[in-house]
Every structure is written in C-alpha cells, then in structure tokens.
Amino acid sequence: MSSENKIIDESKQGEALMIEKNTSGAKKMFLESYGCQMNFSDSEIVASILMDKGFITTQNFEEADIIFVNTCAIRENAESKVRNRLNDFKRVKQKNPKALVGVLGCMAERLKVQILEEEKLVDIVVGPDSYRDLPNLIEEAEDGRKAINVILSKEETYADINPVRLGSNGVNAFISITRGCDNMCSFCVVPFTRGRERSRDPESILKEAREAFAAGYREVTLLGQNVDSYIWSGGGLKKEILSDEQKQNSVNFAQLLEKVALVHPDLRVRFSTSHPKDMTDEVIYVMAKHENICKYIHLPVQSGNSRILEMMNRGYTREWYLDRIAKIRSIIPDCGISTDTISGFCSETEQEHQDTLSLMKEVEYDFAYMFMYSERPKTLAERKYKDDVEEEVKKRRLNEIVAIQRESSTNRIKTGVGKVHKVLIEGFSKKSNDMLMGRNTQNNVVVFPKGNLQKGQYVNVLVTQSTSSTLIGEVVE
Ligand code: SAH
Ligand code: SF4
Ligand code: F3S
C-alpha cells in the first residue's frame, strides 16, 4: 500500500499466475483478475477447478489456448477497463483461431448474453456461482458453440475446493467466508452480480486456515461483502428464520473469528469488509482478546450525512456510525481504521458534502478508498433517483475528501514513530533489495534493513521515521 490516499480503483489489475509445468500437450490458460479481493479469491477457485482437469497456467496471454478475465462491475470505469483489455486479446485469436476467450465474474453476471453480442471475440460467459461448470462450458466452446452459465445459487460456497494460491507471496492467504450480499445499498451492483448472501461452513474455513498455516502462510484474511452478517447454523440460513435451538448451535462472525484466531498464535487474522450497521461489540471484544487478530477495521462510511445514508439504504445514521467508531476506540485505543466514501451521490448538496468532510476530520482515518458516484444499471438508485450532481462537482468534492484524508493519514502514521512494532515480514521493500517490508497489526507498511531475516518471520521494529504512507525503522530484540 505504497500510494496512500490515491484514488484507488477496485478495477485494479492483478496478474495471476505462476507454476508453469512443462507438461507437453496440456492446455495453457491465462487468467487475469479485476475488482475486489473476493474476485481474486474466486480466481484461485477457478484455477483449482481447471488445474484439476489438467490445465496449466501461463503468464503470457499470447501463448494461451484459453484466456479468462475475471471481471468487476462496481463502477463504469471498471467495465471500460475490461473492454479495452478484450481488445488486446484480439491479437491472440488472429494468430490462433482456436484460442478461446472467457469472461468470468461480476460483469459476466451483469451483462449475461449481451456480452456475447457486444464483444464478438468472447466464447464463454460465466457468472460467479457457476465455476464448477467451467470444464463443460469449455468443451461446448471447443465444439464451436458459444457457452454461457450465469445462474446464481443460494447455496454455492465452493467450500470443498482447495484454492490454488495465485500470485501469492506465501505469507498472506485470503479465505472467503460468505458469498453474495443481501443489503441492497441503493448505489450498488453487487447484490445483482453476486446474488443472495450465504455463509460457508465454519469447519471448511478452519480447515483452509490450518492448511494455509501448515503450508507456511502466517496471515489469513477472512473475506465477505459484510463479514458481520456471517451466520452458520448447519445450512447457512439467515438469522431471522432460525429457531431458538438453531440459534444456540449457530456460529456468528465473532465466534468464527475466535475459532480462526485459535488455529495458531502465530497465524494472524484479518477480515474485510465490516458493515457499520452490523458490527457488534462482541466482534470488537474478540479482537481485543486475541493478540493475533489484527487491530485494524475497514468500516466504509460512504457519506457523513444521514439523509444521504438513508437514500443509500445503508441502514445507519451519522450518529450511529460515530458511535461505532467511539466503541472501537474505547475498547481498542490503537486500532487502525479505514473507510470508503462516495462523492456526488444523487441530490447530494454542498452542505451534505461538508458533513462527509467533517466526519472524516472527526474520525481521522488511517486510510481511505475514495470514489465518485457512478450510476449502475438496475440498482435502486438508478430506478428511483436522478444522477444529478455534475461530473465536475463530483470531482471537486472527491478532491476535497482526498485532501482531508491525506492530512489524516500523515498525522496518523506519525503516531507510530518512536514505538516498537511487531511486524510480519512479507518480502523485499519496493525500493531496495537490502530492505524488507512487512505490516504491523494496524496494517501500516513497515520497512527495515534485511539482516538475516526472511519473509514469514515476525520481528520487532523500532520505528525512527515515517513518510506519508510508510514507517521506517530498525529491528530490535
Ligand atoms: N461491501 C462493501 C463494499 C463493496 S464495494 C461495503 O458495504 O462496504 C466497495 C466500495 O465501492 C463501496 O464501499 C463503495 O464506496 C464503492 N462503490 C460501490 N458502488 C459504487 C458506485 N455505484 N459508485 C461509486 N462507488 C461505488
Ligand atoms: Fe454493495 Fe452494500 Fe452489499 Fe456492500 S453491503 S456489497 S455496498 S450492497
Ligand atoms: Fe467488483 Fe464484483 Fe467485487 S462488482 S468489487 S468484483 S463483488
């Protein structure tokens, strides 16, 4: 996280890929992912399903027999990026007419058959709940038919599939604990692209965490669109429809978090994303109780104004949100806190925008992902409200938010100077191979001289200086 406060786009691109076995005759796949961590985690499921069928991976799309793009639909520009990228893949088809191109993930789910009509080079379209069907779909496409499966499921969690850790540093592993989202925030496309919320069997989560630890990983991040609504009751049912007996035997997020923390004291646990309306005190107490649960919460606020929050259907007010922050700070005073904001949502006035600025000053976030509102087809906001804030105004408001966040980040990171931080080493620093980088519990990047140390080890670092986004120091005993 070197470029803090930069406006980070969820449609960032991650080149998956590694292992290139020299298995002659095996089909080569190239798999590229966009979007949130959950999408990257899904690509690890896709790779697992296809490698089981004998596919091998390549980092060079020009030599691939099959190209997959796992896509994001969260904002318009996330989709434009994918369309541009599809253009690059035309080259491959010109050279090798048999090569196949598949669109996976949220954009596939949103556009369905429309993608096949708009992007002629696409052969396969697969939504996030249909990856088990990929081998069949590939066969269909090889027979010259366009193949599509965008059926959403109420049960699929891929619980039994062992993800192939793509592009991993061998230290941090990501584990999906829920899929889908039932919240229907009015601006958001995710409920339409990922379907109903469902929780994954805790035993399969614990098994994955244990296996990750045994394989040398030292940090797991539990993923869900709203981790706080995790609930397991034998069948992934929602809280509201459980009998009292089922409730007693169910596992909620705080309980799951504790179970994962108990896997091993040297396995750090992180999670994302927390929802202000659902984050319980129980979660905060469990965090405080276990040293290996990292003291960092990503708690997206979206707006600091209660009328806008209501229109966004977020389920909380400014006051409720600030109360959650106060609770976190009272139980875990040194907790790192980050957020997401949206500027220029439908009908947002100047005063309402000022409320977001004042909230951000009050909270002093360590970090923020800041966006301009982008209207998405079929969402509640698209159907009910007018996207009436001028682009220029959205941009200016965003810049004002970014300016405040820059100041907060600088102030917050400075508080780490002069202190000793326990750091999990993740690898070399970006700037020099003589330096290593890792993170402290608050998720700040810490850089220090290499010595004889290696990634995956914990070290204590006395921090002597900071830049706007990094702590720099020396290892101490
Ligand atoms: N489940 C998470 C967020 C997932 S999307 C949560 O509820 O917090 C990540 C972020 O993208 C959101 O927090 C929001 O800030 C932003 N976002 C989502 N839809 C958007 C839209 N239509 N326009 C602009 N930003 C959006
Ligand atoms: Fe989208 Fe809201 Fe669900 Fe987050 S909680 S994924 S913003 S609908
Ligand atoms: Fe994008 Fe889908 Fe994630 S829309 S942010 S990839 S859930």
Contact criterion met (CB below 8 Å) for 127 and 109: yes
Whether 432 and 394 share a structural domain: no
CA dihedral angle for residue 398, residue 224, residue 158, residue 380, rounded to 10 degrees: -60
Whether 438 and 347 share a structural domain: no
Q: Looking at the predicted structure, is the pLDDT value of residue 170 above 90? A: yes
In the reported structure, the alpha carbon of residue 177 is separated from the centroid of ligand 3 by a whole-number distance in angstroms of: 16
3 belongs to a structural domain:
no
The CATH code of the domain that includes 451 is: 2.40.50.140
In this predicted model, which residue has the larger pLDDT, 167 or 21?
A: 167
Best residue for ligand 1 mutational test, from 74, 194, 356 (most atoms within 8 Å of Cβ): 74
Give the span between the Cα atoms of 283 and 269, in whole angstroms: 13
Whether 185 and 134 share a structural domain: no
Tell me whether residue 214 is exposed, middle or buried, using C-beta atoms within 10 angstroms of its C-beta: 0 to 12, 13 to 18, 19 or more: exposed
The CATH code of the domain that includes 139 is: 3.40.50.12160
As a whole number, mean pLDDT of residues 183-188 equals: 97
In the reported structure, the alpha carbon of residue 384 is separated from the centroid of ligand 2 by a whole-number distance in angstroms of: 17
Domain end point (choices 369, 385, 414): 414
Q: Looking at the predicted structure, is the pLDDT value of residue 4 above 60? A: no
What pLDDT is recorded for position 241?
Answer: 67
What pLDDT is recorded for position 244?
Answer: 74
* pLDDT tens sequence across 153-164: 999 999 999 999
6 belongs to a structural domain:
no
What pLDDT is recorded for position 249?
Answer: 80
What pLDDT is recorded for position 10?
Answer: 40
Give me the phi and psi of 233, to 5 degrees please: -135, 30
Whether 116 and 179 share a structural domain: no
Whether 240 and 381 share a structural domain: yes
In the block, which residue shows the tokens 């592009």?
Answer: 167
Atom of ligand 3 nearest to the CA of 189: 4
What pLDDT is recorded for position 13?
Answer: 46
As a whole number, mean pLDDT of residues 372-377 equals: 98
Label the pairing between strands 124-126 and 100-105.
parallel
* Percent of the residues in the chain that have a pLDDT greater than 90, as a whole number: 89
As a whole number, mean pLDDT of residues 17-38 equals: 78
As a whole number, mean pLDDT of residues 134-143 equals: 97
Domain count of the fold of the chain: 3
Whether 185 and 92 share a structural domain: no
What pLDDT is recorded for position 16?
Answer: 43
Whether 187 and 329 share a structural domain: yes
What pLDDT is recorded for position 240?
Answer: 63
Whether 119 and 239 share a structural domain: no
pLDDT band at 237 (very low <50, low <70, confident <90, very high): low
Bridge partners (DSSP) of residue 421 are 461
* pLDDT tens sequence across 407-430: 999 999 999 999 999 999 999 999
Q: Looking at the predicted structure, is the pLDDT value of residue 443 above 90? A: yes
In the reported structure, the alpha carbon of residue 74 is separated from the centroid of ligand 3 by a whole-number distance in angstroms of: 6
* pLDDT tens sequence across 71-108: 999 999 999 999 999 999 998 888 899 999 999 999 99
As a whole number, mean pLDDT of residues 385-398 equals: 98
154 belongs to a structural domain:
no
222 belongs to a structural domain:
yes
2 belongs to a structural domain:
no
What pLDDT is recorded for position 248?
Answer: 74
Whether 137 and 179 share a structural domain: no
Q: Which residue is closest in CA terms to ligand 1's atom 13?
A: 340
* pLDDT tens sequence across 271-300: 999 999 999 999 999 999 999 999 999 999
As a whole number, mean pLDDT of residues 331-345 equals: 98
Best residue for ligand 2 mutational test, from 225, 274, 342 (most atoms within 8 Å of Cβ): 225
161 belongs to a structural domain:
no
Q: Looking at the predicted structure, is the pLDDT value of residue 58 above 70? A: yes
247 belongs to a structural domain:
yes
Give the span between the Cα atoms of 166 and 15, in whole angstroms: 9
Whether 323 and 436 share a structural domain: no
Both tokens assigned to 53: 């069928």
Whether 113 and 200 share a structural domain: no
Both tokens assigned to 107: 């954009």
C-alpha 95 chain-centroid distance: 35
pLDDT band at 7 (very low <50, low <70, confident <90, very high): very low
74 pocket-lining for ligand 2 (C-beta < 6 Å): no
Q: Looking at the predicted structure, is the pLDDT value of residue 246 above 80? A: no
185 pocket-lining for ligand 2 (C-beta < 6 Å): yes
What pLDDT is recorded for position 23?
Answer: 54
Whether 301 and 231 share a structural domain: yes
Domain end point (choices 115, 149, 183): 149
Atom of ligand 1 nearest to the CA of 188: 19
In the reported structure, the alpha carbon of residue 72 is separated from the centroid of ligand 1 by a whole-number distance in angstroms of: 12
As a whole number, mean pLDDT of residues 356-368 equals: 98
Domain end point (choices 117, 149, 181): 149
Best residue for ligand 3 mutational test, from 36, 41, 80, 111 (most atoms within 8 Å of Cβ): 36
212 belongs to a structural domain:
yes
Q: Average model confidence (pLDDT) for the chain?
A: 93
* pLDDT tens sequence across 34-55: 999 999 999 999 999 999 999 9
| Domain hosting residue 337, numbered range | 172-414
* Percent of the residues in the chain that have a pLDDT greater than 70, as a whole number: 93
As a whole number, mean pLDDT of residues 211-236 equals: 93
The CATH code of the domain that includes 263 is: 3.80.30.20
What pLDDT is recorded for position 234?
Answer: 73
> For residue 410, is the peptide bond before it cis, meaning its omega torsion is within 30 degrees of 0?
no
Best residue for ligand 2 mutational test, from 109, 181, 182, 196 (most atoms within 8 Å of Cβ): 181
Contacts with 135 (C-beta within 8 Å, 6 or more apart), sequence order: 49, 50, 53
What pLDDT is recorded for position 477?
Answer: 82
